[in-house]
A and B are shown apart, each in its own frame.
Chain A
Amino acid sequence: MFSLNKNLPCLLGDEFASKFQWFPEAASTFSQENDWLFWLITWICVLFFVPIAGCLFYFSLKYKKPKGEKAESNTAHNTPLELAWSILPSFFLVGMFVIGAKGYLNQRTVPDGANDIRVEAAKWKWDMDYGSGVINPELHILINEPTKLSMRSEDVIHSLFIPAFRAKKDIVPGRYNHMWFEATKTAGKRVVGKKLADAQKENAGQVWNYDKWQFTEEGYRFFDLYCTEYCGKDHSVMQSVVVVHETEDDLNAWIKKVSKRGSDVSPEDWGEKLYLRRGCTGCHTVDGAKRVGPSFKGTYGSVRPLADGSTVKADENYVRESILYPKSKVAAGYQPVMPSYKGLLSDDDIDSIIAYLKTLSGDTPATPPAGNADTESTTK
């Protein structure tokens, strides 16, 4: 029965199949089961649709008559026939329902001993929590091992969707939602050497361009991860990636690399990395442009008016407070929409971000904005 879905692309021809490829890569235990059921339903639909459409057009031409001619028959009803076409399709429906419900139960029953990763969704970023304070927007998992996601939302409803795994679940604020899956293959060979180095060099100082490079900053090939519940302005860029690792060592090596600032990385550089990676860029620019939140350019050391009418000097403690308790002092002219990073950033991380902010204000707190054009180059 599995031959159904494998045959179809062949029927359509390879070139056609690649351009009109019907499904993304099948990379989890659900994928095959799901695609098979999809094609089963589709073929049943075709079984019904072709005769229906055939009759429709055939009758339209065959019984087309000049005006005024009488119909050949005026049969009002035929109870056995009508009962037959009311009841027979029901058997197909029952079949679809039963297979579908079984597959669904399987997708909803998390196996014991699955690797647990906590997911925190907020407008418009993903935070995957690997434990011990290691948080990264990318989802990294192990091949052939069930992974469970325990998901919560900071603000509105989001939905985590990994097309390659055929897995999806809404993330509703005020409760935990869980999902699980087991990856059966990686997204491809890791990119190393010059190609990776060139990409890293070209992308420096900007948010990593996954679409352009088609691999992550560390050279891993990835599967797409989308938010599929409309969540506001940047819903369509609330995307991340899933990397499937072949070995646990490889996964641990990656976790170690992203977990904290290495001894050879300066706080300023680490702060910039966090700025680019952890969802700050959605609302804060570094070139002075106003977005959902104020720009970081010249923020540090400035005296800024607050929404309640008072003013505050943006020193270390103000920045720290704004990261951990963003709603306590809201800058005038902005909405209190920033999610709290309490528990999501370590002290060293916050320190690094402050260090990075200082570079954007030219290290001289006394002279606020005054546009230092060359500050950016000092970070590189």
Chain B
Amino acid sequence: MSAGSIPSGSQIRDPGYPTPSENYLTNSKGILSWMFTLDHKRIGVMYLIGVTTAFGVAGLLAMLIRLHLFQPDGMIFQGEEANNWYNQVFTLHGAIMVFLFIIPSVPAALGNFLVPIMLGAKDVAFPRLNLCSFYLWVFGALFFISALCASGLDTGWTFYTPYSTTTDSSVILATSGAFVLGFSSIFTGLNFIVTINTMRPPGMIWFRMPLFLWATYATSIIQVLATPVLGITLLLLIAERTMHIGIFDPEYNGDPVTFQHFFWFYSHPAVYIMILPAFGIISDLISVHSHKRIFGYRFIAYSSIAIALLGFLVWGHHMFTAGMSSLTAIIFSALTFTVSVPSAIKVFNWLATMYKGSISLTTPMCYAISFIFLFTIGGLTGLHLGTLATDVHLHDTYFVVAHFHYVMVGGTLVAFLGGVFHWWPKMFGKMYSELGGRISAGLVFAGFNLTFLPQFVLGSRGMPRRYATYDPEFAFLHQMSTWGSLLLGIGILLAFVVLVCSLKYGKRAPANPWGGATLEWECTSPPPFYNFERAPVVGDPYDFSNLEWDTENERYVTIEPEREVVPEEQPEAAPVHAEDSN
């Protein structure tokens, strides 16, 4: 059988295309129909626009940082206030990227769109709460903008006391923003937990859920359990600043390290809020584009939950040099190593999935491969930091900066881009330029490595973080890094252009352009506003045996053997035994 032909004697199952009145993008019109929508897909799209905007702003700030560091004495910001400018820019870069982009990126933007459809449900459990969480995100963003307009923010995104309780900048506005964003995150998590627990259609047992849903579920648990701690911490910080309650500020008998404990009790699990959904995306992308069953489904699913739980126990590794007792530090170091095992399991499973698969090097697959490469580096360099003796030297240096950018950008951002390219045809019903997409993946990969590999060396050589100016001996590596960031910027811009152009010039997308077996591919592209007319028949999400490439229409279709639904021959009017009695 040649590739791409439909075997004879089989029926094709394909939902076709939606009518404009069914298409969720066009079934109702006007700005109000978007602003007050309860459709999880529209909310997902609004989130996508929101987080992309935030990413654009924070990305430009990142370019300013890199350009400034092109020269040891600083290139962009000049004059008396140069260092202040630099401090504000790196603070806002971090705060916007973390609170406004990475945390909501995959769960809120892609998750909102995908969770109900993948699950086979019509919507999330609480559609109004869902819309509310989006508006909380917008309010949080407004707080950040107002902080920026008031007197800026120069505390670093971590708001460490007592600097944050004594600085003149708008700490209260920014922390209020983060507080509100925390609620947005909690609402999303709560919604997904309830949806996944209660709204699975018949047949959708836990172990038939796509791994993206497992990852989202694990993420939601963290969002619901950890984010309230951040809320309380930020409220205490505001109280300390305004009323001097004496909990964090040593001038009033507080302890600044207490703030770090509280802060990282949220913010370390938050790292997993950022990376777990990325794992989910990659598990699905690797399997679909290798057209092969995911290897070790249960290990991947359990490791997501294991990471979510272990992630709560390792926050102390952010404070190895802060003066905790040696025993505490040693315990945290040991716990930190345990969390590396589930991540390693996933990498091995993805590779095993690709082994003997039928790999299509599509744009999403290029991003997924790039993710595995970059995330592995990010994960492995975590070992240097988890090891106590070496961490003492590397703590708060560029080594740390490089490490977490490999995880957050090389991991989450690349997975997010991969996910957007993967589900773009489903979301907007358009195919994009494959060539442009693949070039963007290559540029992002090359630019990213050029930006952050030199930073590992910078850190080992002792270059501290958050320096607006630096010793001339570090200049060469900083310049390499800056050139890399320009390349990375061009790559991301190209990805953006490719996607936006597809909206106008792209071909109409079939229901199943990649050959996925999860339920969202059984809807039309874009899906109808009601997702499924009736509860779908739930099959194995990673069984690709019934999917065939339809060369003529450039789509994958599900085939079924031709079946006789009703007997063709007319049964005799008289029963057979009637003859016998005669």
Contact = CB atoms under 8 A, between A and B. Distances in A.
Interface of A: 19-24, 30, 33-34, 37-38, 41-42, 44-45, 48-49, 52-53, 55-57, 59-60, 63-78, 81-82, 85-86, 89-90, 93-94, 96-97, 99-109, 155-157, 159, 161, 163-164, 166-170, 172-175, 177, 211, 224, 226-237, 239, 289, 291, 335, 337
A21 B454 CA distance: 11
Contact of A155 (B166, B257, B292, B467): B166
A99 B166 CA distance: 40
A97 B359 contact: no
A108 to B, nearest CB: 5
Interface stretch (B16-24, B198-206, B344-352, B412-420): B344-352
B53 interface: no
A108 B521 CA distance: 58
Contacts of A64: 359-361
Contacts of A65: 3, 358-360
Interface residues on B, range: 35 or more
B553 to A, nearest CB: 12
Given A67-B360, A232-B87, A236-B467, A42 B388 contact: no
Contacts of A37: 387, 389-390
Given A96-B337, A172-B322, A211-B471, A45 B380 contact: yes
Contacts of A164: 462
B424 to A, nearest CB: 18
Contact of B347 (A52, A104, A109, A167): A52
B505 interface: no
Interface in B321-352: 321-323, 326, 329-330, 333-334, 337, 340-341, 344-345, 347-349, 351-352
Contact of A101 (B321, B333, B344, B347): B333
Contacts of A38: 384, 390, 393, 460
A8 B328 CA distance: 34
B321 A159 contact: yes
A228 B465 contact: yes
Given A45-B383, A105-B326, A230-B160, A163 B351 contact: no
B4 interface: yes
B448 to A, nearest CB: 15
Nearest to A86: B345
Nearest to A93: B337
B127 to A, nearest CB: 36
A68 B549 contact: yes
B296 A82 contact: yes
Contact of A99 (B254, B329, B387): B387
Interface in B410-437: none
Given A33-B389, A157-B163, A236-B469, 7 more contacts: A23-B461, A66-B4, A67-B549, A74-B293, A172-B323, A175-B255, A235-B467
Contacts of A23: 460-461
Contacts of B251: 173-174
A138 B148 CA distance: 38
B348 A172 contact: no
Contacts of A42: 384
Contact of B465 (A22, A63, A230): A230
Given A161-B464, A172-B323, A237-B469, A56 B393 contact: no
B234 to A, nearest CB: 18
Contact of A22 (B298, B457, B544): B457
Contacts of A63: 290, 354-359
Contact of B341 (A86, A101, A105, A109): A86
B351 A55 contact: yes
A60 B293 CA distance: 16
Nearest to B395: A168
B378 to A, nearest CB: 11
B262 interface: no
A70 B337 contact: no
A77 B295 contact: yes
B89 interface: no
Contacts of B357: 59, 63, 71-72
Interface in B230-276: 250-251, 253-257
11 contacts: A38-B460, A63-B358, A65-B358, A68-B5, A70-B545, A93-B340, A97-B334, A97-B387, A211-B472, A224-B462, A233-B87
A104 B330 contact: yes
Contacts of B383: 41, 44-45, 93, 96
Contacts of A211: 471-472
A90 B156 CA distance: 35
B560 interface: no
B123 interface: no
Interface in B267-290: 290
A177 B83 contact: no
A93 B251 CA distance: 41
Nearest to A178: B323
B148 to A, nearest CB: 18
B330 A101 contact: yes
A118 to B, nearest CB: 16
Contact of A233 (B83, B255, B354, B395): B83
Interface stretch (B184-192, B218-226, B368-376): B368-376
B389 A67 contact: no
A167 B390 CA distance: 10
A169 B323 contact: yes
Contacts of B390: 34, 37-38, 41, 100, 103
Given A49-B380, A101-B388, A157-B163, A82 B299 contact: yes
Contacts of A56: 351, 354, 369, 372-373
Contacts of B330: 101, 104-105
Contacts of A22: 457, 460-461
B532 interface: no
